[in-house]
Structure 1
């Protein structure tokens, strides 16, 4: 025992000092995908019988059970699959889970949706709740941005589709992502990995675990990733949108007896890339006067500056060239600590999770998306602290299983915003003689001070009553309270540093009026609280030993929201105070499903059909104004998402595994009559107040623009109707260099049909569908794995997201997806 402890201490020290040369998790024969397995009564026997399928244990219902027993739509992605397919964070996870949509322009502005629902698509606000809960070892991560860390020593990821509020601490109206890391062990073990590839890609991971005493075990994991950027900035002469990540995780397990375990965990993640820039994609005509649209404005700036001759470096986004002139930074620090206590008592298990997490965000952006000095700075650094406490009791009986829990949550986010106009701003945004005077807008600065305080508490529970051995009725309920208090103050100064006031309304045509048309001083202090009651009912029936059918109805809510990034302006340039708060979402969810295993459980086929209706859907919208470029929240009257999902996996033998998952998702605005208009219907003089909106002249310069647009019937942004993921792996025994092992070859891929990248769908922001294919070839044996890989093997051109530049000039910018990448990985375990 002393020798083992000494080895552990030495390796803990070694792993922390040689992170650049190590990594966790060997790749197993399984390639990816959705769970496969056995009823609870047969779990142990099946796990020992090699002729049957893999038994995957999940905790989706807050207890350990096989995935095929769980009467809900769930995808289970094992750690080896994540490693083998290169999906190293939540953003990449959608390549393995078709109904998961993850889109990002930088870590803060990341949308994670399931079935098209969850987080309002677009630039984010702190004032709303996410509908997809992200949990790491039972700890809730309140902001999507705080969960953009690289996966580190992950055992598996469960993607739960549909409302989960009666089982999870924070109300999750669209689903949950449940990430489980590898835990400390009393048997000594370790993993190490080194990867290198093109684009100067380097990744190293290490994990080591073992006993410190008979009752205490420890685990530590380290990971580092770096990669050259994928866009070349001709202004800075640097590659941007790079990767520069470091992650650490440590855990101590105290297990005084078989009934009690106490785990103390801590983690830290740092990302400091030069990121996240865009490239020119296209120009689309708006209803602004033609002389005030992108190409004419560039020509006017060049004419006013002889010899300048500004032009974008390329009008083909796949040349991967940009000319952004503002500094770029995406500094992201994430971390925290948790204490988890599990105590078997009274025939059940009591669990307590106490957690603190922080998120420190330090960005610098170029929000005019050009090499011109229009918006010379756009930075909104934020600091978040969150505290959560969850108590949960699980009981399993012969006829009744139940979970009851109490959850408390407290959060504060502080933000110090800065947005500044540059030397080209007057020519870009003003008309007449004012356009020729750079001093009017140059140096005009908006400084924002804001905070959000959020408090939440919930009592939740779920009961499973076995009416017969085949029939189970499972009701659940949740009582939830939320309170949000916000503060937002924008102080505007001119180029001389003098504070300006826009009240009373300045004289038309004056310098002050021009400045107030860009940035309005604002002060709002919204405060709102709300109670809601959620419930669900699941009925499931075991038609045969390996066939489970289920039906679910859920009534859930997403709590009230407040706007934290500035309010939209009325026609007279005054803030629209009625937009300070948004109503809670009301969700009705219906689902039926079938989970089957066959061919001696070597194959599974799962099917689910769903329909979700949301009233007062919280949507992110953008009116095209500089002062609200980050977007704000508004309620769409009604949204609906419906579709069908199918998951298939087969293991014909130990030599071959394949899977195919597919989803059809029809998500649309059923009723949204007062949405902001898309760019092709914006920029002109407003149509008369009270007039019936005229949509007949999209993209016609000088045409009158509707004050609002009815986008009822249009599809939700960010959602592909069709999505598929697929893969296979085959192996054969081989002895190489005196080592017995397996030679294997694997392929995986995913397809997504087209989707729109603007909250009010636009003809200019439609993103074409694409299919990505990855290959890997390797040799593995006892304790080692060496393989080469190629991702996006056919070098497919695709867009990750498109953005509409402010000002209604018609400029559309975007981020192209990764090109073909390739490299090699070496893994060891001991």
Structure 2
């Protein structure tokens, strides 16, 4: 399918306020079937320069974006190309109130936080933002690249989507639609080269096979050297290698039968190792990114036993530093299309294998107030390493009926859904107690976790077109989900229920046996009132619900830590306006929202009393967030497109009603933890301290160092994106030049649940006189959760021939090399990927 590369250009300054660019347009029903337009074909009359209306499927059927009563951002492949967006974190910069960062350690997976709700990818729990590819739920996203296969569009739906999408969508949905095979012969080939010896190539071919049949074959391969230097091992880290192949078949027989089926297989290797702007082993060297882990990314002489003399079981004992993910994705959409009804059978299979060995402590200790900058040791086992071998297999079946009734007064979508997932993870946690040489590595946990999820649901949504302008919508989903798990300790002497072993039979906590199976039934309603004044103005008000299923803290390294957590429940209320002005040359969409949630599931990764990583997931009784989201896009004249978007939010946690100080398993309630923290502070103890002077209940969970409820992680008050593209035609040369600039801003942010941060300035404990060279209360940041405001700039200059057959572009991302913090784990800060540049050439035919 030929692509239109309409380059979004030139900086926006004043008029178009703030943040995010709503997708520059797209197809109406006729344009959806029309061939793509080269950038040079933009010499339109003034009457033809309006913004087109992207078709989206946010409500289970195709409808124009501007008449869909959901806060959403939709971008076509052409718009992604125009803005130089090739990764999910780049996409997130232009979506209001969305934060997407590579997961600490695992560089091929993203952590999403949308409107203050997020988490799940590190701990095995439900994500708050669901990922769907061709309407198939992908519970373990394999990679962050958006550009491997041909895209049709990406839709980011903000707010709970439980009615139509089910569990795991309490914050929203990222829905990716891949391109169907084209009925015309064609294709393209592309080759990129960039910084860090980055190579990326991809190709696609559409082949019609006669009336009603067409196939698409796509493939890609990419390789980038790591941008992190390890002076101890001489290796480059945080590199990426990806490859994939996809075959898709499109069948259209007669007037009614449609079938789209695709099989894709991808391989990806890439880690996200903590790194520093200056060499920890030589602090005056600050011209690169550095790591000093001794865990190697390549096995010397083909034999690798990094954790000796500690004993780790199975193949994972010999994994080198890195993260490898293989994914098989099968999607099928079989449809019978009638005059007023469409029956769809949507089937998905997702099989993922993931192997990794990650050092979360840079070959040394975790930072603490006593030692805020730990001494470099380069332990060959790493400072705190997790090595894992996992298989994740899921199957889903959605039967959906959409149509119209009563002289088109009623539009409806009804369906039934089944989902099954089986996971098998063999993992070990290795902590180095310190010392010289190889130190003293000890195995804190070595266990096999098997889990199963089975879910079935029925759902329906009815739109009643009460008048020409007024539409009332009511939707409801009933879902029943059963989850179970089993733990087996692999360590010698732990093949039974021996004390201290991580076996399911051993999960007796405070005299209460932890259940290993739970069923969660939920009703998820949605109500909307929409007033369509005209094609150019729509106003809506909605109330929508989503739930996240309960689970267990299976990332724990002791049986006492495998505590269950409850399901979450989220209600979101929205008031939105979608409008177009000046002959459809200016689009202004504004959404106000209020979220009220109970028992939200929050994951934290702090440092425990022993100095090891402590990963937990627990419920917070109350969460509220209120905010505004503005998306503006304008085309003041034919060849200039300006975009802006602003997100504002004010999120906070609450204690809820009165609860018991301890639950059945002896775990403290949040209210009790806060009281104990405040008592420890009054006694002169110090959060993040050590020994007797440590205020152990502070800077932990969601209680901050001051004894207050923490600011929810990844909820900056402001996110802003401004961008512009100008298409400058040079008829005599037969080319179009398209400069593009995009600027994104976010205000200060907390990246850790407990807001735990180490600051400059010594502090003395009034409890016992212990002097700490750093403090947890304020000053200049050494490392940890807090990061100040940040601005990222990306730019691109593209040259396309007027017939659209050739495209050459040069682009940079993070052009001014902003070293912002994107995440934190174990008191370490994870930095934004440094500046990269890319040269791209593409030939379409």
Verify: 1:802 aligned to 2:824, yes or no: yes
Shift of 1:787: 2.0
Verify: 1:652 aligned to 2:646, yes or no: no
Kindly indicate whether the alpha-carbon contact (under 8 Å) linking 1:488 and 1:566 is maintained by their aligned counterparts in 2. Answer: no
What whole-Å deviation, never above 9, does each CA across 1:638-668 have from its counterpart, x for those lacking one? 1112211000000122211110011012222
Q: 1:585 aligns with which of 568, 571, 576?
A: 568
Listed as ranges, the gaps of 5+ residues in structure 2 are 10-19, 36-43, 297-320, 364-376, 502-512, 663-672, 759-784
Kindly indicate whether the alpha-carbon contact (under 8 Å) linking 2:713 and 2:753 is maintained by their aligned counterparts in 1. Answer: yes
Q: For residues 215 and 502 of structure 1, do their structure 2 counterparts lie closer, same or farther at Cα, with a shift above 3 Å needed?
A: closer
Residue 530 of structure 2: aligned partner:
540
Q: 1:779 aligns with which of 799, 802, 807?
A: 799
Verify: 1:365 aligned to 2:358, yes or no: yes
Structural mapping, 1:670-685, within 5 Å = 670-671=654-655
Kindly indicate whether the alpha-carbon contact (under 8 Å) linking 1:616 and 1:637 is maintained by their aligned counterparts in 2. Answer: yes
Kindly indicate whether the alpha-carbon contact (under 8 Å) linking 1:281 and 1:814 is maintained by their aligned counterparts in 2. Answer: no
Verify: 1:119 aligned to 2:102, yes or no: no
Structural mapping, 1:175-574, within 5 Å = 175-273=172-270, 275-280=271-276, 312-314=281-283, 319-327=288-296, 328-345=321-338, 347-370=340-363, 371-373=377-379, 375=383, 377-397=385-405, 398-422=408-432, 425=433, 427=435, 441-444=440-443, 446-492=445-491, 526-566=516-556
Residue 724 of structure 1: aligned partner:
720
Kindly indicate whether the alpha-carbon contact (under 8 Å) linking 1:77 and 1:158 is maintained by their aligned counterparts in 2. Answer: yes
Measured in 2, the distance between the counterparts of 1:438 and 1:242 equals 26
Residue 816 of structure 1: aligned partner:
831
Verify: 1:602 aligned to 2:589, yes or no: no
The SS at the match of 2:211 is coil
Q: For residues 501 and 59 of structure 1, do their structure 2 counterparts lie closer, same or farther at Cα, with a shift above 3 Å needed?
A: closer
The SS at the match of 1:68 is helix
Kindly indicate whether the alpha-carbon contact (under 8 Å) linking 1:26 and 1:829 is maintained by their aligned counterparts in 2. Answer: no
Verify: 1:85 aligned to 2:83, yes or no: yes
Kindly indicate whether the alpha-carbon contact (under 8 Å) linking 2:526 and 2:542 is maintained by their aligned counterparts in 1. Answer: yes
Residue 765 of structure 2: aligned partner:
none
Q: For residues 535 and 137 of structure 1, do their structure 2 counterparts lie closer, same or farther at Cα, with a shift above 3 Å needed?
A: same
Which structure has greater helix proportion? 1
Residue 746 of structure 1: aligned partner:
740
The SS at the match of 1:536 is strand
Measured in 1, the distance between the counterparts of 2:26 and 2:577 equals 15
Q: For residues 803 and 336 of structure 1, do their structure 2 counterparts lie closer, same or farther at Cα, with a shift above 3 Å needed?
A: same
139-148 or 597-606, larger mean C-alpha shift: 139-148
Q: For residues 35 and 175 of structure 1, do their structure 2 counterparts lie closer, same or farther at Cα, with a shift above 3 Å needed?
A: same
Measured in 2, the distance between the counterparts of 1:41 and 1:499 equals 63
Residue 698 of structure 1: aligned partner:
686
762-771 or 451-460, larger mean C-alpha shift: 762-771
Measured in 1, the distance between the counterparts of 2:813 and 2:344 equals 41
Kindly indicate whether the alpha-carbon contact (under 8 Å) linking 1:399 and 1:467 is maintained by their aligned counterparts in 2. Answer: yes
Q: For residues 483 and 44 of structure 1, do their structure 2 counterparts lie closer, same or farther at Cα, with a shift above 3 Å needed?
A: closer
Measured in 2, the distance between the counterparts of 1:692 and 1:421 equals 31
Q: For residues 385 and 535 of structure 1, do their structure 2 counterparts lie closer, same or farther at Cα, with a shift above 3 Å needed?
A: same
Residue 34 of structure 1: aligned partner:
22
Residue 38 of structure 2: aligned partner:
none
542-551 or 371-380, larger mean C-alpha shift: 371-380
Matched residue pairs, number?
A: 722
What whole-Å deviation, never above 9, does each CA across 1:333-389 have from its counterpart, x for those lacking one? 122212211111362111111111111111011133234436474202211100000
Residue 788 of structure 1: aligned partner:
810
Q: For residues 345 and 687 of structure 1, do their structure 2 counterparts lie closer, same or farther at Cα, with a shift above 3 Å needed?
A: closer
Shift of 1:759: 1.3
Residue 770 of structure 1: aligned partner:
790
Kindly indicate whether the alpha-carbon contact (under 8 Å) linking 2:182 and 2:214 is maintained by their aligned counterparts in 1. Answer: yes
Kindly indicate whether the alpha-carbon contact (under 8 Å) linking 2:142 and 2:326 is maintained by their aligned counterparts in 1. Answer: no
The SS at the match of 2:90 is helix
Measured in 1, the distance between the counterparts of 2:225 and 2:2 equals 23
Measured in 1, the distance between the counterparts of 2:723 and 2:529 equals 33
The SS at the match of 1:404 is strand
Shift of 1:221: 1.4
Q: What RMSD over aligned residues (CA atoms) do the two structures have, in Å?
A: 3.5
The SS at the match of 2:607 is coil
Measured in 2, the distance between the counterparts of 1:144 and 1:641 equals 27
TM-score by length of 1: 0.80
Measured in 2, the distance between the counterparts of 1:630 and 1:414 equals 22
Verify: 1:636 aligned to 2:624, yes or no: no
Shift of 1:704: 4.1
Residue 734 of structure 1: aligned partner:
730
What whole-Å deviation, never above 9, does each CA across 1:684-742 have from its counterpart, x for those lacking one? xx999899443664356652424466455431112211111121111222146xx5232
Q: For residues 108 and 187 of structure 1, do their structure 2 counterparts lie closer, same or farther at Cα, with a shift above 3 Å needed?
A: closer
What whole-Å deviation, never above 9, does each CA across 1:602-645 have from its counterpart, x for those lacking one? 11000001011111111113452479836121111111122110
Measured in 1, the distance between the counterparts of 2:677 and 2:693 equals 17
The SS at the match of 1:380 is strand
Measured in 2, the distance between the counterparts of 1:407 and 1:356 equals 14
Measured in 1, the distance between the counterparts of 2:147 and 2:524 equals 33
Shift of 1:489: 2.7
Shift of 1:403: 0.6
Q: For residues 378 and 170 of structure 1, do their structure 2 counterparts lie closer, same or farther at Cα, with a shift above 3 Å needed?
A: closer
Q: For residues 504 and 824 of structure 1, do their structure 2 counterparts lie closer, same or farther at Cα, with a shift above 3 Å needed?
A: closer
Q: For residues 426 and 798 of structure 1, do their structure 2 counterparts lie closer, same or farther at Cα, with a shift above 3 Å needed?
A: closer
Measured in 1, the distance between the counterparts of 2:180 and 2:593 equals 35
Q: For residues 815 and 25 of structure 1, do their structure 2 counterparts lie closer, same or farther at Cα, with a shift above 3 Å needed?
A: farther
The SS at the match of 1:575 is helix
Kindly indicate whether the alpha-carbon contact (under 8 Å) linking 2:489 and 2:495 is maintained by their aligned counterparts in 1. Answer: no
